[in-house]
């Protein structure tokens, strides 16, 4: 019987969910969904000085926005100290760990001596044969093998060999009783029956240490897949100087979650030449074999292009739901507004090919929603001449007599008016656009009239024409 796949995303809540962490979460989520497995969210908050509840909430918020739903958790390591203590006691009882009474000052003094003598600075093992628990405060160290090699058969990078002679007896429980990262990670993986560890390649050097702890408990070592890092355009590690790096920052800038997911999965993974994937396609196609071993470069322009494609291909209903918070935040729409979502969807849909982000879409929607608009001075001077205002007056009279101002009705009538006057359609359409939207660029003006509705259109024309 095949062991069911169980994977975990285990962020440290010392900051917001960033792009690299989100990609790691995504690859774990996809691997679980592709293999009908279990995706676990685990919060590694043993760093009490830097971990905060605010960051935990931000991580959960980012995961929820990206729709990376987890099957178990979120588990917090700070809730499991009794578990770690029991596992450490077992190692001590079996002679696989020991108490160490070396003080930080003593360790630093030896380290400096070793550096001066050009010798290895690893722990020298002087407490290695201690059996009894000392009376004074003591750390617990894991007894590492001193000979041979540890081979990590990485599913992405291939075999990686480490000499055991360079692996020092690491502290697994500090003298104050708090467990350390490399120890609790393994205990959690054992308790949660993790089968595959998919994480960033900054953890590669931790892996041989962790492998020995798995083996000390007689546990089958999980399969490891270390994801290459994400670089900025200058080929240095992605950081704030390259722009926004947190997931929620992209949400607030008006990116769609599916667009960011699509972009993140292509940072290091490929499936032929395909660029755009639905969630269902990603789950169907994803495999670790498709993940490259070299670093990926984060390209904000490519992400913006991808977001534009997702906006263009969204339904009116989806756009209405997505843009509404941005309309409220910008003050274009009141929070308690009873605006029709069907109408809002039509307005948003009309702007889909002109908006790269939801922020841009919300900004452009002001002329559909505002009681009044400002007209660009250059557009006014060029297009709202006395002659064109006379044409607009005739359009106003025509519209006032209609009960239906849909594009299908209005466009032929304006076209007939232009032909009768020997004018091109633009001679009427462009002044009409400036009067209704305040500028020279908008969706088709007859579509704009239909969405605005007769009452608002006449109000705008009255302000321009007067009388």
Q: Which residues are catalytic?
A: 240
User: Distance (Å, rounded) from C-alpha 207 to C-alpha 191?
Assistant: 18
CB within 8 Å of 416: residues ≥ 6 apart: none
| Inter-helix orientation angle 407-420/386-400, to 10° | 140
**Residue 228 φ then ψ, to 5°:** -65, 155
User: Distance (Å, rounded) from C-alpha 118 to C-alpha 211?
Assistant: 29
| CB 48, CB 17: distance < 8 Å | no
* Residues forming a β-bridge with 140: 99, 173
The string of DSSP codes covering 303-369 is HHHHHHHHHHTS-HHHHHHHHHHHHHHTTSS-TT----HHHHHHHHHHTGGG-SSHHHHHHHTHHHH
- 430 by DSSP, 3-state: which? helix
In this structure, how many other beta carbons lie within 10 angstroms of the beta carbon of residue 24?
Answer: 19
Both tokens of 31, joined, read: 């691997």
In this structure, how many other beta carbons lie within 10 angstroms of the beta carbon of residue 157?
Answer: 17
Q: Residue 120 has what DSSP assignment?
A: -
Beta-carbon-side half-sphere exposure of residue 245 (alpha carbons within 13 Å): 14
Cα dihedral 260, 264, 267, 272 sign: negative
Question: To which residue do tokens 């953890």 refer?
Answer: 203
User: Distance (Å, rounded) from C-alpha 229 to C-alpha 19?
Assistant: 11
The string of DSSP codes covering 29-42 is HHHHHHTT-EEEEE
| CB 443, CB 430: distance < 8 Å | no
Which is it for strands 158-163 and 171-173: parallel, antiparallel or unpaired? unpaired
């Amino acid at each position: 019987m095949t062991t069911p796949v169980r994977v975990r995303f285990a962020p440290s809540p010392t900051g917001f969910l960033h792009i690299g962490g989100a990609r790691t979460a995504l690859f774990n989520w996809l691997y679980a969904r592709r293999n009908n497995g279990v995706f676990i969210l685990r919060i590694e908050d043993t760093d009490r000085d830097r971990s905060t509840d605010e960051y935990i909430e931000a991580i959960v918020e980012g995961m929820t926005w990206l729709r990376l739903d987890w099957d178990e958790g979120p588990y917090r390591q700070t809730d499991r100290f009794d578990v770690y203590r029991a596992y450490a006691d077992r190692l001590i009882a079996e002679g696989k760990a020991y108490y160490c009474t070396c003080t930080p000052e003593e360790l630093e003094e030896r380290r400096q001596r070793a550096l001066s003598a050009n010798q290895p600075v690893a722990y020298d093992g002087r407490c290695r044969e201690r059996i009894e628990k000392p009376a004074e405060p003591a750390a617990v160290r894991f007894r590492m093998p001193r000979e041979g090699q540890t081979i990590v058969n990485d599913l992405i990078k291939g075999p990686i060999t480490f000499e055991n002679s360079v692996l020092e007896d690491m502290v697994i429980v500090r003298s104050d009783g708090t467990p350390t990262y490399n120890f609790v990670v393994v205990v959690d993986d054992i308790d949660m029956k993790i089968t595959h560890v998919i994480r960033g390649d900054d953890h590669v050097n931790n892996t041989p240490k962790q492998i020995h702890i798995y083996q000390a408990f007689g546990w089958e070592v999980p399969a490891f897949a270390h994801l290459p890092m994400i670089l900025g355009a200058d080929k240095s590690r992605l950081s704030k100087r390259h722009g926004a790096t947190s997931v929620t920052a992209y949400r607030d800038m008006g990116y769609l979650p599916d667009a960011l997911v699509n972009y993140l999965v292509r940072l290091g993974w490929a499936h032929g030449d395909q660029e755009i994937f639905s969630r269902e396609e990603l789950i169907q196609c994803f495999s670790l074999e498709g993940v490259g071993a070299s670093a990926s470069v984060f390209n904000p322009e490519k992400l913006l292009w991808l977001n534009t494609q997702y906006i263009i291909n969204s339904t009116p209903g989806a756009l209405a739901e997505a843009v509404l918070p941005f309309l409220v935040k910008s003050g274009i729409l009141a929070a308690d507004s009873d605006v029709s979502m069907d109408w809002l969807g039509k307005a948003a849909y009309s702007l889909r090919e002109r908006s790269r982000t939801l922020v841009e879409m919300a900004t452009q929607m002001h002329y559909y929603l505002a009681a009044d608009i400002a007209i660009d001075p250059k557009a006014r001077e060029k297009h709202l001449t006395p002659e064109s205002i006379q044409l607009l007056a005739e359009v106003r009279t025509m519209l006032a007599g209609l009960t239906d101002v849909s594009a299908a009705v209005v466009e032929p009538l304006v076209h007939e008016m232009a032909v009768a006057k020997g004018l091109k359609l633009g001679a009427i359409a462009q002044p009409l656009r400036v009067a209704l939207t305040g500028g020279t660029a908008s969706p088709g003006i007859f579509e704009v009239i239909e969405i605005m509705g007769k009452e608002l259109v006449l109000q705008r024309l009255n302000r321009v024409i007067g009388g």
